[in-house]
Amino acid sequence: MSKLDSKIPEGPLKDKWTNYKDHIDVVNPANKRNIDVIVVGTGLAGGSAAASLAEMGYNVKAFCYQDSPRRAHSIAAQGGINAAKNYQNDGDSVYRLFYDTVKGGDYRAREANVYRLAEVSANIIDQCVAQGVPFARDYGGLLDNRSFGGVLVSRTFYAKGQTGQQLLLGAYSAMNRQIAKGKIAMHNRHEMLDLVIVDGKARGIIARNMITGEIERHSAHAVVIASGGYGNVFYLSTNAMGSNASAAWKIHKKGAYFANACYTQIHPTCIPRSGEHQSKLTLMSESLRNDGRIWVPKKLEDVKAIREKKIKPVQIAEQDRDYYLERRYPAYGNLVPRDVASRAAKERCDAGYGVNATGEAVFLDFATAIERYGKEKAMVSGIENPSKEKITELGEAVIEAKYGNLFQMYEKIVNENPYKTPMMIYPAVHYAMGGIWVDYNLMTTIPGCYAAGEANFSDHGANRLGASALMQGLADGYFVLPYTIGAYLAKEIRTGKIPTNTPEFDAAEKGVREQLEKLINNKGKKSVDYFHKKLGKVMWDNVGMSRNAAGLKKAMDEIAQIREEFWKDVFVPGEMNELNPELEKATRVADFLEFGEFFAVDALHRNESCGGHFREESVEMDGEQEGEAKRDDVNFRYVAAWEYTGNPREAILHKEELTFNDIELKQRSYK
Amino acid sequence: MNLTLKVWRQKNAKAKGALETYKLNDVSEHSSFLEMLDMLNEQLINEGNEPVAFDHDCREGICGMCSLYINGEAHGPDRAVTTCQLHMRMFKDGDTIYIEPWRAKALPVIKDLIVDRSALERIQHAGGYISVNTSGNTQDANAIPIRKSDADKAMDAASCIGCGACVATCKNSSAMLFVAAKVSQFSYLPQGQVERKERVLNMVHQMDKEGFGNCTNTGACEVECPKGISLEFIARMNREYFGASIVAEN
Ligand SMILES: Cc1cc2nc3c(=O)[nH]c(=O)nc-3n(C[C@H](O)[C@H](O)[C@H](O)COP(=O)(O)OP(=O)(O)OC[C@H]3O[C@@H](n4cnc5c(N)ncnc54)[C@H](O)[C@@H]3O)c2cc1C
Ligand code: SF4
Ligand code: FES
């Protein structure tokens, strides 16, 4: 398995998917009844895949660690989902969505996959509406759209600030219909702990029933991994507490190549940390940057006074404020892409201008927007010479209609009224562009093992645009995988049921049991969280928003050390054969401790700055772009897919060269 | 702040549970309620004891995983928030806080503060969907305009996070608000019309089968619901049910 074969179909870009679908092998309905498919994960990707595969007639076994498929972390997505519908008649098209996604991803995605994504995007909206997803509508009863960062058209569909919730509940309802029919066997509160390979093919998983602690064997003709992203390797992120890398890491250790781990998105607008007790970070949607202006004080004495609460932010005069995004990027201003906005915030805070006690916060200010909207509203309402108070009142109402739920969320957490004083925000780990390497069919390098959604290395290159992850998850699950998996399963119609009483299942189960026993019997002194927090700090300090070779090497050593200490000194209370949240955490953190080191290896090898990956060694030295990220297309225009060798540090690099026939490679400029 | 916690401990579904008392000091008023419980667990682990098991995941009020009956109120003393969004600034130094699981026959305790909500799942299996297959040629999303007011109502109903607070807080342990939210969402949309009658009959039938109590309109569910799901939807579901039953009898 030396050469990576991406299996991109021949032919012109725009015909590839159609031609391919027309010629793909299919399984006849009677045979589908004899074929089992395991789907690990029930978020947008896994949920939509499970429902669609079951509808087609396969026997699906689905797994999630929560007590219901409806609780996968897709539920938390706020802003919206992109689709090239061109309902707003603003010149959107499949090509434009494709182009924006490839450019936004800093030219590190596979053209053919992104084009297919753009092609099926419109079907997603049709499908969801048919399922009863209550998207926002205008007064004419038609679907409404909003715009997101990095693009010039309005193509984002939304359901209040709860788009992910509504899309997931749509997929969940489609699953429920199949669960009722017996076509999906749903395993809630089950965690996959290993993959079983028989004769080189993925044939099942070992899972732990999280209520009874029982170790179970499940077999199938194909296994789909849709287990979400790995952001929690940083401990603090916008992910859910249970989000993990384990399913992906386990299949990596069994032979699936892992790609581009260093491409991680740090989202610029999250609520800052408030202290040591912090367990997770909360996102404030990107849509806020449409109306909010980002700033810090110009003078350090003002910073000090604010931190000591001697003055209020509103008391700082206009000329003493540094609207640093508007200053540095006059063309895009506050709407520069996420990676650029995040680094700029870090730059100001590192220079000492952070506005809260931890020194890690900047202001997101709505005062200008409130005034502007207030005046507009007064004008259309025919109010002459409105008072300042009236303008504020009218303007706040407009802001409330747009972002009310986010403002309420902020107020609940921070206990400050963001209508009256600017929000405080800081970047936080948010999304994993990297993931399991897959070919055009979404198959990993293990035959019969597929990866979908955030878990695969996906279509977002080095940086994902807002509202594109939901689109990708549903595209994978509703419209891509159900076709491509057929080509593989067509060869399995004579295989018959896969037995689980074989040496391969024995060995996998034994490995799982041994690890769990080791954790329980370790009886060390320190909690799992102690190690997770320690790992997170090393990752954030050295493998975070800005990286350099010395820091990355240091991180690799430190992580290896923490891992050693973990296995010596971790304390996991309770038993194996019962509900045991500490044991669950321990297995996940054990994997993060390997994954984190591997992550640094990928970041170290990629000596270019590209999308979410910023190397201090690779910046523009002069000219208009001085100090900005410098991509290196000559040496790094490839997907880095790594093969596991037994030690995260010694992974072997395989390169998938990226060719761009339908797009011209350009330097991203937002000046 | 320093707190006294009275926490329900129960080894497993069959064991008998009891309230245990713990002292917890130096809790930051900025921490969330669940971060306070993290602190308690860290303390228990450092003492070599078993931590308290509780459900949680997103910690931002949307997944519906967290539960907890705090000082006799589902999701605690604040309004329109889930337990994970509750902050310690709602409490004072020296407070005693009672922390218990949801209590309802249909939602039995699995361990400590964790309950089994699969009865709610089975109600959704019984009819919480529109029967449409995945296909690349569903009609265009804008083919049927939907009145904004109807779409907004459907969205309000669809905001239910399936946490079960309504059941836990109801003296009859009724799941009416939860079921009404789903039935209402689809009843406002043209796509939901075809199966409208079977849906409400099947979901209500399943709810009764699971052992949830009857609704006597006390309105407690609406008060404790973290997503502000309105009693209006229960009235709507009653009309739907009544209409469907008459047809079913004919
Ligand atoms: C706060 C937030 C806001 C966002 N907003 C947007 C937005 O507005 N627009 C947008 O496009 N994207 C957004 N994103 C990104 C997007 O939501 C996610 O990338 C996407 O939903 C991931 O879907 P998924 O199906 O791949 O994984 P998830 O939804 O994370 O699902 C993972 C599933 O895997 C299961 N699982 C994991 N490990 C195991 C295991 N070992 N065994 C069994 N089951 C397992 C889980 O139980 C779960 O069911 C946002 C992300 C966050 C965190
Ligand atoms: S109706 Fe409210 S309280 Fe009941 S499950 Fe839904 S969100 Fe929770
Ligand atoms: S943990 Fe998700 S709603 Fe509370």
Kindly state if the Cβ of B181 falls inside 6 Å of ligand 2. yes
Residue of A nearest to B49 (CA): A573
Average pLDDT, chain A: 95
Return the pLDDT at A161.
86
Q: How far is CA B47 from the centre of its chain?
A: 33
Which ligand lies nearest to the CA atom of residue B233 in the structure? 2
Q: What is the DSSP letter of B87?
A: B
Could you tell me the pLDDT band of residue B136, with boundaries at 50, 70 and 90? confident
Asked if residue A670 has pLDDT above 90, the reply is no
Q: Which atom of ligand 1 is closest in space to residue A430's alpha carbon?
A: 53
Per-residue pLDDT band for A286 (boundaries 50, 70, 90) equals confident
Ligand 1 atom closest to Cα of residue A46: 25
Distance CA A94, CA A13 (A): 12
What are A612's two structure tokens? 């979410």
- The continuous run of DSSP H or E covering A431 comes out as strand A423-432
Higher local confidence (pLDDT), A202 or A668: A202
| Burial environment of residue A390 by CB neighbours within 10 A (0 to 12, 13 to 18, 19 or more) | middle
Residue A145 near residue A87 (C-beta atoms within 8 A): yes
- Per-residue pLDDT for A1 more than 60? no
> Is A287's pLDDT higher than 90?
no
Q: Does A21 touch chain B (CB under 8 A)?
A: no
List, for residues A150-160, the tens digit of each pLDDT value: 678 899 999 98
Torsion of CA A242, A248, A254, A259, to 10 degrees: -150
Residue found under tokens 């993925």: A202
Pocket test for ligand 2, best of B170, B178, B232, B234 (most atoms within 8 A of CB): B178
pLDDT attached to residue A148: 78
- What sign for the dihedral angle of Cα A318, A322, A328, A331? negative
Each residue's pLDDT tens digit, A389-428: 999 999 999 999 888 888 988 999 999 999 999 999 999 9
Q: How many CB pairs under 8 A join A and B?
A: 209
Ligand 3 site, residue B66, Cβ cutoff 6 A = yes
B36, closest residue in chain A (CA to CA): A277
Q: Quick one: which of A156, A20, A153 has its CA closest to A93?
A: A153
Q: Which residues of A195-213 are buried (b: 16+ CB within 10 A; e: fewer)?
A: bbbbeebbbbbbbbbbbeb
Q: How far apart are the first and last CA of chain A?
A: 44
Q: By CB neighbour count within 10 A (0-12 exposed, 13-18 middle, 19+ buried), where does A671 fall?
A: exposed
**Dist CA A538 CA A563 (whole Å):** 12
C-alpha span between A543 and A561 (Å, rounded): 16
- Provide the residue type at A463 as one letter: N
**CA B204, CA B238: separation in Å to the nearest integer?**
10
**Contact across the interface for B130 and A173, Cβ inside 8 Å:** yes
- Arithmetic mean of pLDDT, A247-261: 98
Domain parsing of chain B, residue ranges: 3-111, 117-134+144-249
Please work out, in degrees rounded to the nearest 5, the angle formed at the alpha carbon of residue A226 by the alpha carbons of A221 and A642. 90
What part of B 179-198 touches A (C-beta under 8 Å)?
Answer: 185-186, 188-189, 191-192
Q: Summarize pLDDT for A94-126 with one digit per residue, the tens.
A: 999 999 999 999 999 999 999 999 999 999 999
d(CA A563, CA A205): 26
Q: What is the dihedral of CA A126, A132, A135, A136, to 10 degrees?
A: 120
Chain B positions in Cβ-Cβ contact with residue A174 (cut-off 8 Å): 129, 132, 134
Give the mutation candidate from B28, B35, B41, B60 for the A interface (greatest A CB count, under 10 A).
B60
Q: Cβ–Cβ of B57/A141 closer than 8 Å?
A: no
CA distance A377 to A213: 60
Hey, which residues of A are catalytic here?
A: 338
Q: Identify which of A459, A433, A438, A453 has the alpha carbon closest to the alpha carbon of residue A111.
A: A459
Please judge whether A132 and B111 are an interchain contact, meaning their C-beta atoms are less than 8 angstroms apart: no
Distance of alpha carbon A10 from alpha carbon B206, whole angstroms: 52
pLDDT at A601 over 50: yes
- At B134, the pLDDT band (50, 70, 90 cuts) reads very high
Residue nearest atom 2 of ligand 2, based on CA coordinates: B225
Rounded to whole angstroms, the Cα distance separating A464 from A235 reads 21
Pairwise CB contact (< 8 Å): A415 & B126: no
Q: How does residue B248 score in pLDDT terms, banded at 50, 70 and 90? A: low
- Find, among A439, A622, A619, A473, the residue nearest to A546 by Cα: A619
Considering the domain B3-111 in this protein, what is its CATH number?
3.10.20.30
Mean pLDDT value of segment A228-237: 98
CATH of B117-134+144-249, one of 1.10.730.10, 1.10.1060.10, 3.40.50.150, 3.30.200.20: 1.10.1060.10
Residue type, A588: R
- How is residue A109 written in tokens? 């995605």
Cβ neighbours of A140 in B, within 8 Å? 145
Higher pLDDT, A671 or A622: A622
Tens digit of each residue's pLDDT (9 = 90 or more) over A534-574: 999 999 999 999 999 999 999 999 999 999 999 999 999 99
Instruction: Report the residue from A51, A242, A282 with minimal CB separation from B134.
Output: A51
Of A137, A242, A582, the CB nearest to B51: A582
Domains of chain A: 267-429 (3.90.700.10), 509-638 (1.20.58.100)
Model pLDDT, residue A671: 77
Q: Where are the alpha helices (DSSP H) in chain B?
A: 33-46, 118-125, 148-158, 165-169, 176-187, 196-209, 220-224, 232-249
Spatial distance between the Cα atoms of A441 and A450, rounded to a whole number of angstroms: 8
CA distance A475 to A123: 9
B58, B188, B191 ranked by CB distance to A73: nearest: B58
Q: Who among A51, A125, A529 is closest to B141 (CB)?
A: A125
* Residue pair B55/A242 in contact by the 8 Å Cβ criterion: no
Complete DSSP assignment for A607-662: -S-BTTB-BTTSB--SSTTTTSB---HHHH-EEEEEE--SSGGGPEEEEEE---SS
Dist CA B71 CA B60 (whole Å): 21
pLDDT at B249: 63
* Cβ of B84 less than 6 Å from ligand 3: yes
* Nearest C-alpha neighbor of A446 from the set A596, A163, A251: A251
What percentage of chain A exceeds 90 in pLDDT?
91
Q: Is B43 helix (H, G, I), strand (E, B) or coil?
A: helix
B207 neighbors B182 (Cβ within 8 angstroms): no
Which residues make beta-bridge pairs with A201? A198
- How close is the Cα of A49 to the center of ligand 3, in Å? 25
Sequence length of chain B is 250
Contact A240, A73 (CB under 8 A): yes
The length of chain A is: 671
d(CA A309, CA A413): 19
Ordered alpha helix ranges (H), A528-608: 528-542, 549-569, 581-605
Q: Give the C-alpha separation, A318 to A662, whole Å.
A: 46
